[in-house]
Amino acid sequence: MKSTAHIKPEGVEIAETILLPGDPLRAKFIAETFLTDVVQFNTVRNMYGFTGTYNGKRISVMGTGMGMPSIGIYSWELINVFGCKNLIRIGSCGAMQKELNLYDVVIGMGASTNSNYACQYNFQGTYSAIASWDLLNKAVKVAESKEIPVTVGNILSSDIFYNADPNAMKAWMDMGVLAVEMEAAALYMNAAKFGVNALCILTVSDSLITHEETTPEERQTAFTKMMEIALELA
């Protein structure tokens, strides 16, 4: 039976399409709310993973934790050990543009970053981490069919949550970056490296402009529109 130090399915199937929230309790909520015939495939480090059925198709969901090192580990193993082909991050983000409000859905066409994650590839330049067109195109069409407004564009995957520089986000905002989160760039790079599909769908949980914010409970259970879009991509 396939297993790693971080994922031990004990023979339970992990589907080719997997949703990846940062919060393992969000993974549990999705499995219990949207999926049928659910089987848990991971409990290691309390990073819960589940496989079930949605509209007749098998789909998995698993937490990844916070930050690029964490999603980098889990996505690498899901791709290279367990054969996942479509990896869809669903998470929260901080709005960096005034037109974005709490609960708005943002899709990351590209993921800029202040991380050194790409250094491992020895690029002689700057790599642009982008989503898979197939998943991005499908997600936009699903959102349109469900009449869910989405904003598509560049996001920032930051290594720093509490930044000592109070002006650190200004340059990114001036370049039109929509929102900040902490994982997508590593996911996009791993997917590109190993020839699979990846997409990041986010819900605005707070605003760097208005300083409004949602509660932890709302971030765990109330961000359902992005979940509905992601589930249709199976």
106: its two tokens: 């943002």
Residues labelled catalytic: 206
Measured distance CA(89)–CA(73) in Å, rounded: 14
pLDDT at residue 40, as a whole number: 98
pTM for the model stands at 0.97
Question: To the nearest whole percent, how much of the chain has pLDDT over 70?
Answer: 100
In which residue ranges of the chain is pLDDT below 70? none
99: its two tokens: 């037109």
pLDDT at residue 217, as a whole number: 86
pLDDT at residue 220, as a whole number: 79
- Cα 72 to chain centroid distance, Å, stands at 12
What CATH number should be reported for the domain whose range is 17-231?
A: 3.40.50.1580
Determine the Cα angle at 179 with ends 80 and 63, to 5°. Answer: 35
User: For 142-193, how does the pLDDT look when each residue is reduced to its tens digit (9 = 90+)?
Assistant: 999 999 999 999 999 999 999 999 999 999 999 999 999 999 999 999 999 9
